[in-house]
Amino acid sequence: MLVMVMVFMALVTIVVISMLDTSVMEALISRNIRDGEQAFQLAEGAVFLGVEQSYQVLSQNYRTVEILPAVLELAETNFTDSVDGKTVEMQVSNPRLIEQRSDYCIYEIRGQGTCPPAQYRLKVQVRFDYLEYHSLHYGTDGSVSMAFSHRDFLDRGKVIKMERALQP
């Protein structure tokens, strides 16, 4: 009888230890998933902050400039905060011009979110629609030419493509 009780106790001990090991592993997995999701949300927030800052720069500084700049200089590109004693960070790259047409332009913006140990990078293409205005100029020889006057941006930018960036 004593032998059966000892065998039973050994089996119960093995089951309890394996359950404890499983619960510790599940807690680690859960924490990693949470940190990964937080990093994704931070990266997404970074690109949307970049979109808004890009709109502000374009509408304030480049309404009367015909050729848009190849790179927009943003006022702020790094944002940090503390969550549960952990430092989390968002970084946004200065937007890079992909295409400019007479009625829209497309900029690429990269955002990164870091929630240690997780890190996530996003790359988006943003389309800014606008109306361009031109004025007629009459030459002394009777020729007529059109010259760029200004542009009015129609919206704050639309994300047309979003993907995970593999390199920094």
pLDDT band at 168; cut points 50, 70, 90: low
Query: What is the tens place of the pLDDT at every residue in 137-154?
Result: 888 888 888 889 999 999
What is d(CA 86, CA 47) in angstroms, rounded to the nearest whole number? 22
What is d(CA 63, CA 150) in angstroms, rounded to the nearest whole number? 5
pLDDT of residue 1: 83
Instruction: Check pLDDT > 70 for residue 18.
Output: yes
* Triad 21, 22, 26: Cα angle to 5°: 120
Q: Sort strands 104-115 and 118-138 into parallel, antiparallel or unpaired.
A: antiparallel
The model carries a pTM of: 0.82
Q: What percent of the chain has pLDDT over 70?
A: 99
Structure tokens at 102: 């007479």
Instruction: Check pLDDT > 80 for residue 115.
Output: yes
Q: What is the mean pLDDT of residues 58-69?
A: 95
**CB of 73 closer than 8 Å to CB of 84:** no
Q: What is the mean pLDDT of residues 155-166?
A: 91
Work out whether the CA dihedral 5, 10, 14, 17 comes out positive or negative: positive
pLDDT of residue 167: 59
Query: What is the tens place of the pLDDT at every residue in 64-110?
Result: 999 999 999 998 899 998 888 889 999 999 999 999 999 999 999 99
74-109: b (≥16 Cβ within 10 Å) or e: beebeeeeeeeeeebbbbbbbbeeeeeeeebbbbbb
